[in-house]
Every structure is written in C-alpha cells, then in structure tokens.
A and B are shown apart, each in its own frame.
Chain A
Amino acid sequence: MKHADIIVIGGGATGAACALGLVREKAGTVLMLDKTFGIYRPSRANFGLTGYLLKGLNDAVYAKWAFKAIQEWAEFGPQLEQDSGISLDFALNGVGEPFLCEEEKAVRVQQTQQLKEMAEVNGYKYNCEILDRYEFSQLIPKMELGEKVIGGMFSSDNGHVNPLFMLRAMRKTYINEGGIFIAGESVMEIIPGQSHTIIKTNIESYVCSKVVVAAGHGSTRLLNHLGVKLPLFPLRGQLMVTNRQPPMLPIPLFLVRQTGEGTFMIGVSIEQAGHDIGTTVEAMNSQAKKAIELFPIMAEFNWVRSWGAIRVITQDDSPVYDTIPGHDNIFVLVGHSAVSLASLHSSIIPKWIISGRKPKEIENLGLRRFHV
C-alpha cells in the first residue's frame, strides 16, 4: 500500500489551494487525488470574481472571512503568478453592480448598510459606495449605459481572475514545490482506522495520517459512508461568452465581465435543476436581454459559447470547514466561492490541518450549525 502524510481528495479550486498551502508549509508527503467528473466542474466553469461584495448577509463570520480572503488575495495572487510563471489576468480594481430600477437600488442600499454595520461591529471596514448614474458611468467611460440604469454600487478593492489559469497555477506550483498529484483516480471509500486512514481508489489503496475531503459535490457520497450527511445542495448557473472585443469594460460587474482575452462573460443564472449541467434558451434569453439593457452595444456582439455548472452550496451560503465527528484527522472543506476564498484555503486552512487547532475565526463555519 502506498503511503502519504496527508491525502487531499479533489483537485478543484478548494483542494488545489489547500494542497498548495500544505506543501508550502512543509507538511510532509502530500498526495492530491482528482478524478474529473463532468458534472463536478464548477472550478472550471465559474465566473472568476474574487470578491466579498454582498457576501455573508446571513452570517457575520462568513462576511468577515470573505473580506479577509480578498485582502489576502492582494499578496496571494501576485505570489502565485511569480511562483508558477503563469499570468492570471488578476486585478483587484473593483467590482460594480448597476441598478436598473428603484426597487433594486433600495434592496442593495439596505444590504450594503447591513454589511457595513456588521463590519463595524466586527472591527473592519466594508467598502462599498452607492453611486448615481453619472458617477457609475465614470467607472466605465468606454461603454454607454442603457437608459434604464439609474446608478450602481462599487467596491474598489474587489476583483477578478481567470479561474482556469488560477487552477493551473495552483496545481503547477503545488507540483513544483514537491506535492504529488494523481489525476484520473476516483476515490471510492475512506476507511478510518486508529491512527491511520485508508483511501481506496478505483485503482490503488493508500494509507495516510490525515485526509482532506475537498471533492465538491463528490464529497457527499464519500462522507455518507462515514455516517456524515453534508448539507450541500446543487444550484445551477449558466454562463454565456461572446466573441472577443477590444478592451472596454475595465471592471467586472456581477452580470458581465470582460476577460483579459477580450471575451465578455455574461451570467450567472441561479436555478434549481438538480445535477443537470445543461443550458436553457430561457436563461440565455434573459441574461442576454439584461446585458443589453445594461450596455446596448452588446446587442452587436456575437454569442459564441455557453455552459451550465453546479454550485457547491449550503443552505446559508457559507462554506463548511470541519472534522468528522469521532475522526479529528479527517477534514472536510466544501462550499461556494472557492475562487474568492483560495487565498485563505491556501494559508489559514492548511495551518489548521497541520496543527489540528481550528482558528477561532472559523469556529462557527462547521457542520454543527446545521444540526440545531
């Protein structure tokens, strides 16, 4: 049987960030196992925002965690680019969200107020300005706003990244720094023992001291065997991409962003569709219409591709970081926004896994909150 100190199951945004952090912290032999399943691919199909804007409305702990993640990205991003030699198209030059009617504005103003107050209580500053139409248009001088836009909000220290380059850079750096990556083996079972855990894949068996389950929706089945019910549910998002355009949208918005290659991405629908990653005409139609309402010039762009992907999300939107009851060497890391949170998944989380001492700031982001 092959041996490793720590085995990370899942090589998506969460697993790769954590595995990278573990080798950087010199945690011994680290093995990352990933079998890419068609439906478990949000790490390869997401929108690429690195932001805390509007995050944690239900949960002050998560709000602060998300805020911290973006502060850390300021260092994590450039360091990852340097270590991997891969440019990530990463920028923290702000994220905006326009308002198309007074009701929309009222909701956003209220949410912003709430998050600002939560932040103040928790000792940090939630940065978001509410802008009128003129001020908002100044952020995007090269694109004319649709006539319905009455203003918007803007947070100057949020940002975006090419999520595919991010994933590749994390995996590459992980391997360069001594991590072992086995792609194409599917973990079938986790068998806990007194001091060691056995990981059975479709091909091999491995023995290790610690296990990190970061397999997105694939985690549910693995932990079910151990009697743990993960509070995850599938929530689909559909994205469209256009043909390349000259650079004209300098900041990403929730609905559209322009990538470093010039492509516009339009998204992101929120639908309960089980594990179906298909696309629908209705969603495409409604997203495209909204995009054109926002920027009429987009009516002239060609739509070249689209796809659906399944979010890994909990009832309260916050991630789950915990160990399994009775097995404090089996860690579980699952949740939404793993692009935004990659900086912390690569620093604080690996430190916790190595030391076994869960930091206070994520004490409440465990499984127990779902069983009250």
Chain B
Amino acid sequence: MFSSYETTKQTVTIILDGKPQRVPAGVSVAAAVLGTGKTHTRTSLISGEPRAPFCMMGVCYECLLEIDSRKDQQSCQVQVKEGMIINRQIRTNGEEK
C-alpha cells in the first residue's frame, strides 16, 4: 500500500498543524507526517509521553491523528488527499494544544 518517494512524482498539499505541506501522493497520512520531519504525532493521554507511528500496519494504535476534524484516526491506514487537514494530538496537562 505504500509507494516509495522515488517512483512518485506527484504530490498533494495537506494542512498539518495549520501549515500547508507538500507530500508525496499515494502515501499514508502517517508516512506523510513522518516525511515532513516530525518525530512524534501525539502524546500519551495518561503519561504525556511523546508517541509516533510504530507498526505502520494497523495494529498498534500508536499513530492516532486528527484527520479532517475526526480525532483518533489510525493514520497509517488512511491515504493522503489533496487539502486534507491533519492535526497532531499533542497535549500538555491533559489539555489539547
């Protein structure tokens, strides 16, 4: 389901944490976000630790992101689309930042 950066010439623009980003078309949201250089995609709701996509295959639930206003989406299972609005789920003291 993932295509490599080399073979994809096409890109789409996503809005990540409010900023437009050009990412390869056809990749998963998780891959796209990691590809922008972000090291973590959410913080644990209980411990506050930073977390990032881990299994990239729908099993571990580490990759949850807000995608087009829907929270807690498994971003490794969703393909990027032009204009997609993506927010990382970073919290401090239990509040969304």
State in angstroms the CA–CA spacing of A363 and B51 once bound together. Answer: 54
B residues near A245, Cβ cutoff 8 Å: 45
- Point out the residue from B46, B72, B94 that lies within 8 Å of A243, measured CB to CB: B72
Chain B residues with CB under 8 Å of A302's CB are: 72
Considering only CB atoms, which chain A residue lies closest to B95 in the complex? Answer: A246
Instruction: State whether B46 touches A247 (Cβ < 8 A).
Output: yes
Is A261 in contact with B46, judged by CB distance below 8 angstroms? yes
Closest-CB distance, B52 to chain A (whole angstroms): 16
How far is B70's CA from A302's CA once the two chains are assembled, in angstroms? 10
Distance A360 CA – B44 CA, assembled complex (angstroms): 50
Which chain B residues (55-70) contact chain A, with CB distance < 8 Å?
A: 61, 64
In the bound complex, what is the Cα–Cα distance between A328 and B72 (angstroms)? 57
Q: Which of A189-247 contact B (CB under 8 A)?
A: 243-247
A300 to B71, CA, bound (A): 9
A300 to B70 CA separation, bound complex (whole angstroms): 9
Residues A304 and B46 in contact, CB atoms below 8 Å apart: no
**Chain A residues numbered 274-319 whose CB sits less than 8 Å from any CB in chain B:** 300, 302, 304
Could you say which interface size class chain B belongs to? under 10
Do A246 and B72 contact each other (CB < 8 Å), given the known contacts A260-B46, A261-B46, A262-B46?
no
Let me know if B72 and A262 touch, CB within 8 A.
no
Docked CA distance A304–B61 (Å): 9
Residues of A within 8 A of B46 (CB): 244, 246-247, 260-262
What is the chain A residue whose CB lies nearest that of B46? A262
Q: How far, in Å, is B91 (CB) from chain A's closest CB?
A: 8
From 30 to 46 in chain B, residues with beta carbon under 8 angstroms from any chain A beta carbon are 44-46
CB-nearest residue of chain B relative to A261?
B46
Q: How far apart sit A245 and B64, CA to CA, in the bound complex (Å)?
A: 12
- What is the minimal beta-carbon distance from B69 to any residue of chain A, in angstroms? 12
**B45: which of A262, A300, A304 is its contact (CB, 8 Å)?**
A262
Contacts of B72 in A (CB 8 A): 243, 302
Cα distance A244–B61 when bound, in Å?
10
Instruction: Return chain B residues, CB-CB under 8 Å to A260.
Output: 46
Q: How far is the CA of A279 from the CA of B46 in the complex (A)?
A: 29
> Given A245-B45, A247-B46, A260-B46, 12 other A-B contacts at CB below 8 A?
A243-B64, A243-B72, A244-B45, A244-B46, A246-B46, A246-B94, A261-B46, A262-B45, A262-B46, A300-B71, A302-B72, A304-B61
**B interface residues (Cβ-Cβ under 8 A, vs A):** 44-46, 61, 64, 71-72, 94
**Subset of 16 A-B contacts with CB under 8 Å:** A243-B64, A243-B72, A244-B44, A244-B45, A244-B46, A245-B45, A246-B45, A246-B46, A246-B94, A247-B45, A247-B46, A260-B46, A262-B45, A300-B71, A302-B72, A304-B61
Closest 10 CB pairs of A and B: A246-B45, A262-B45, A243-B72, A262-B46, A244-B45, A302-B72, A246-B94, A261-B46, A304-B61, A245-B45
